[in-house]
Structure 1
Amino acid sequence: MKFRVDRDAFADAVTWTARALPARPAVPVLAGMRLEVADTASDTLRLSGFDYEVSAQASVDVHAEEAGSVLVPGRLLAEIVRTLPPHPVEFHVEGSRALLTCGNARFTLLTLPLEDYPTLPAMPRTIGSAPADVFATAVRQVLPSTSRDDTLPMLTGVHLTFRGDTILLAATDRYRIAVREMWWKPEEVDIDTSALVPARTLGDFSRSLTGGNVDIALSTSDSRGAGEGMIGFEHDGKRTTTRLIDSDFVSYESRFPTEFAAQADVPVAPLAEAVKRVALVADRSTPVRLSFTSSEVVLEAGSGDDAQALEALEVNFEGEPMRIAFNSQYFLDGLTNVETERAFLRFVAPTRPAVITGTPAKEGGKPDFRYLVMPLRLA
């Protein structure tokens, strides 16, 4: 196996594929990254990583002199390519060693037993495609609301509902719920299915998305997406697959209030900056308090002998004056993911969930992004 490749293109493909490699592999061979040139006529290098749960594949154009395949330590290769000088990379295999040359830099890597490497799963059937940049934004908006607690697998995923020409992305950690609605182009117009996707895998893939479309592939054991299944995404020569989380997702729509006692129309950036400043004096268990009146909101944090902060900001508020408190990071995760310059904060009561949305594209329309957050009790 021997090829020559552009340094930046090679580094991008290697770095992306390495994301799927386990930090502590169950067997040593899973730490490997497979590099394959199927034939010299195609001049295409395919890179693969797999840990029995998540697979990643990337393709890059090369000038191939000899076809072949090899398995090398993936994370080490990723560290090497990130530091290479700006020159073309030459790579070839001699026996049990892989030799990499870039300018005056040379590396020799010991190969891993390719015959022990597992076969990557096939891509499921494509069910549709979505604008890549919109899909990446939607994932970014809901991802902070997923849980890091593996004892409740359901909460560590993003729930995707594919219904007609709409995708609904939802996530919750029990203290907040984020929901994003977006348009896509399904293969079947009457599609109605869902999938619970591991948040980490979805986040890693979405960060690589740029322009164009992302193809979405899905296989489930039933029409609802429950049970064993797999989802795949493909974009710009990169593809990934992951097993679905085998769990039912919460029925979240009923958690959103339909009637509100008060509403604030706030500027997103100034309010977010004010919350960040005030929160500097609060520890993780101390809430940021917001007191709304008809023309302003007063933000406070700290009390008693502790450090204290106070800041006022002009807002448009409708309803009886209200004083409510939030975990500052939970509040910011909702506010900063609103895509419009102004946001609506809707309240039922100081002890009931509040809802943050952006300004709808059309008057009277539904916002694309909704974020429900539980308040903290005031002493």
Structure 2
Amino acid sequence: MKLRVERDQFADAVTNAARAIPNRPSVPVLAGVMLRADGDGVTVSAYNYDVSHEGHARGTVQDPGAALVSGRLLAALVKALPNKPVELASVGAHLELVCGSARFTLPTMPVEDYPTLPALPDTIGTVDTAAFVAAINRATIAASRDDTIPVMTGVRVEFRAGTVALLATDRYRLAVVECPFNATDPNLSVDLLIPASVLAETAKTWTGGSIEVSAAAGGDGLVGFADGRRKTTSRLLDGTNYPPVRSLFPADDMVKATAIIPAGDLAQVVKRVALVAERTTPVLLTFTPGDTTLVVEAGGAEEARASEAMPISSYSGTEALTVGFNPQYLIDGLANLDTAHAHIGFVDAFKPAVIASADSDGQPDPTHRYLIMPIRVSR
């Protein structure tokens, strides 16, 4: 193998592929990234039997071939290279990398021992990159990190003709986000449970254009994403017992009070007030009828307390309301809104509240809803 590639494209391909390298590989070859030089450049890939990442860097190939080298080492090297073309050449059991006056010799592993990457399933449609990345960021914050309940660590992604919906919950909060989807089949109905960590990590690599989505018929086995130079596949989680989370949202006639609040200001106030609170201590939000002032309070150990009043746009309740929330969950819900103001709907102090972006008329955005469970408090 011998070729010459541009540094930036090669670094991007290596960094992207290295995301699939496990922290503790079950076999030595899984610590590697595969370099295959052919045609108009080099394809860089990695696979851990659950997730595969593949990227391509254009270049001039003098001698086609393949090499398997340590992924973490190569990723560290390409980040430190000068901004000059990169020359790669297989020499015996080593790979030589030259960039400007920098020269590295890396040991290689047997190419034939590396597992074959799974092929992308059939394409089911495309989605705008920016919209899909935003939806992923909004949904994945609500997914569980508890691996003992695998179904909660995934994002349920529902593909329909015209729309894709992402649902995630850790049992204490729930995010439902929708964005347009260009389906290949006007009768498309595919539901997938994709690991939230895979979605979140992969979304970091996408820029501009659109994402091509691939899935097997019936949503079994694999999901695939491609954005031109990069491809990703992931095994799906078993979503058979995923809870009917949409039913948790209160009906419109159940909502007794709404508040329109500057989202960024509330997040900053919560951060300050929560400094005195212990990890499991809620922040309290107190609303008063006819008053456009919100009081945020928290108490901690050794009688430490904090409170701060802030102006809000409106509160529609006819009765005073004091409700407690996990401060980080509340901040997460406010962090990814489309607008400067949040619309928060309340049933009462003990039922879930729903956060959404508020438009110029104070109406909530139905395509992005974040439900948060309150913490019961006694005063």
**Normalised by the shorter chain, which TM-score bucket?**
over 0.9
Give the corresponding residue for 1:167: 164
Of 258, 261, 265, 2:260 maps to: 265
The 5 Å alignment of 1:64-143 reads: 64-143=61-140
- Normalising by the residue count of structure 1, what TM-score does the alignment of the two structures yield? 0.95
Query: Residue type of the partner of 2:74?
Result: L
The Cα shift of 1:247 comes to 2.8
Give the corresponding residue for 1:230: 222
Aligned-pair Cα RMSD in Å: 1.5
The Cα shift of 1:12 comes to 1.1
Structure 1 position 334 matched with structure 2 position 333: yes
Query: How many Å separate the matches in 2 of 1:349 and 1:88?
Result: 63
The 5 Å alignment of 1:293-312 reads: 293=288, 294-303=291-300, 305-312=302-309
- Normalising by the residue count of structure 2, what TM-score does the alignment of the two structures yield? 0.95
The Cα shift of 1:358 comes to 0.8
Query: Residue type of the partner of 2:272?
Result: R
Query: Residue type of the partner of 1:91?
Result: L
Give the corresponding residue for 2:366: 367
The 5 Å alignment of 1:277-316 reads: 277-293=272-288, 294-303=291-300, 305-315=302-312, 316=314
Query: How many Å separate the matches in 1 of 2:172 and 2:160?
Result: 26
Uncovered stretches (5+) of structure 2, i.e. residues with no partner: none
The 5 Å alignment of 1:11-22 reads: 11-22=11-22
Query: Residue type of the partner of 1:251?
Result: P
The Cα shift of 1:273 comes to 1.1
Distance 1:90 1:304, change over 3 A: closer
Report Cα offsets for 1:268-289 as digits up to 9, x if no partner: 1111111111111112111111
Distance 1:291 1:364, change over 3 A: closer
Distance 1:361 1:265, change over 3 A: closer
Secondary structure class of the residue paired with 1:107: strand
The Cα shift of 1:250 comes to 1.2
Aligned residues: 371
Query: How many Å separate the matches in 2 of 1:313 and 1:300?
Result: 11
Residue pair 2:259, 2:345 contacting (<8 A) in 1 also: yes
Bigger mean CA deviation after superposition, 353-362 or 312-321:
353-362
Residue pair 1:165, 1:186 contacting (<8 A) in 2 also: yes
Distance 1:256 1:291, change over 3 A: same
Residue pair 2:278, 2:301 contacting (<8 A) in 1 also: no
Secondary structure class of the residue paired with 1:177: strand
The Cα shift of 1:115 comes to 0.7
Distance 1:14 1:21, change over 3 A: same
Query: Residue type of the partner of 1:21?
Result: I
Query: How many Å separate the matches in 1 of 2:261 and 2:40?
Result: 55
The Cα shift of 1:366 comes to 4.9
Bigger mean CA deviation after superposition, 147-156 or 84-93:
84-93
The Cα shift of 1:185 comes to 0.4
Query: How many Å separate the matches in 1 of 2:140 and 2:53?
Result: 20
Secondary structure class of the residue paired with 2:29: helix
Query: How many Å separate the matches in 2 of 1:261 and 1:284?
Result: 30
Query: How many Å separate the matches in 2 of 1:233 and 1:153?
Result: 22
Give the corresponding residue for 2:355: 356
Residue pair 1:132, 1:209 contacting (<8 A) in 2 also: yes
Report Cα offsets for 1:274-324 as digits up to 9, x if no partner: 111111111211111110123111001125733222111111101121000
Of 247, 250, 271, 2:243 maps to: 250
Residue pair 2:260, 2:358 contacting (<8 A) in 1 also: no
Report Cα offsets for 1:36-84 as digits up to 9, x if no partner: 012xxx3221011001111111011012111111111111100111111
Give the corresponding residue for 1:239: 231
Query: How many Å separate the matches in 2 of 1:232 and 1:74?
Result: 22
Uncovered stretches (5+) of structure 1, i.e. residues with no partner: none
Give the corresponding residue for 1:63: 60
Distance 1:313 1:25, change over 3 A: same
Identity of counterpart residues, as a percentage? 44
Residue pair 2:3, 2:41 contacting (<8 A) in 1 also: no
Query: Residue type of the partner of 1:260?
Result: V
